[in-house]
Amino acid sequence: MNPDLRNLVALQDLEIKIASLQKLISDIPNKVQAFENELQRLRTEFQIRSAHMKELANRRRMLEGQVDTTKAKLSKFKDQLMTVKTNKEYTAMLHEIQMAEDQIRGEEDKILEIMEEMETKENHIKDAEKELNKKSTELQEAIKKTKESVPQLESELIILKEEKVLKESQVGMELLGRYRRIAEARKGIALAEAKDELCSACHVRIRPQMYADLIRTETIQACDSCSRILFHRDSL
């Protein structure tokens, strides 16, 4: 293969690696943010569950307080029942006692429902807390590793860029200029591998004679369809 073309293939391979590494580095802040967002979501979800448990506990205490107050009133009504002097007063007092007893039963039923709900949710919260602790550890470790990977990736990028400069110096100016023009017009990809008589970039069939020349000669050929410079990797 033409030595310039061989160096040009190596140059494009380097540039593809550089672009991939640059994207990887540029994506790190978003990746870290995604981990942090997930961690915050889990914490918020747990806080909502915990807040609901506190709300249930407050409602239970409020109802228990109301039951105690109503029981005190009921006791007072029963004491007053012994002192009434007329049937009308007696009937009225029995009505008050009945209302107080109904109120106590209703509130105690609500307390029981809340206790049952709290028991169920308490088990869920314990499981959720374990899951939160596990996920938090995993996410914090992922955040740490992702941040710590930056210096190594940047070092690799510097080395690749140095190799790229060296390869550029090994390609003839005319061919390098042609390579740059095609790359600019073709989204950064100026070379296309010829494989199985097809251009790997545009998938158009290569003329048999051109394909044979790519394998046997050092002549630089371009795809008739996409104009990319063709190369046969097995001939490198």
Mean pLDDT, consecutive 10-residue stretches, the chain (236 aa), reads: 89 96 96 94 92 94 94 91 87 92 94 92 88 93 95 96 95 94 95 95 94 87 95 84
Q: Which pLDDT score is estimated for 177?
A: 95
Q: Can you read off the two tokens belonging to residue 98? A: 């009945």
- Please give the pLDDT value at position 235: 76
By residue range, what is the domain housing residue 121?
3-171
Those residues whose C-beta lies under 8 Å from the C-beta of residue 157, and which sit 6 or more positions away, are: 18, 21, 22, 25
Report the pLDDT value the prediction gives residue 1, as an integer from 0 to 100. 67
Strands 198-199 and 191-195 come out as: antiparallel
- Answer yes or no: do 207 and 140 share one domain: no
Q: What is residue 171's DSSP assignment? A: S
Question: Among the three residues 171, 189, 213, which one is the final residue of a domain in this structure?
Answer: 171
Cα distances (angstroms) measured from residue 206 to each of 9, 38, 42, 200: 19, 50, 55, 10
Q: What is the pLDDT of residue 25?
A: 96
Both 73 and 155 in one domain: the answer is yes
Radius of gyration of the CA atoms of the chain, in A? 40
Strands 191-195, 229-231: pairing kind: parallel
Domain count of the chain?
2
Asked whether the CA dihedral 3, 9, 12, 16 is positive or negative, the reply is negative
Looking at the structure, tell me whether residues 152 and 208 fall in a common domain: no
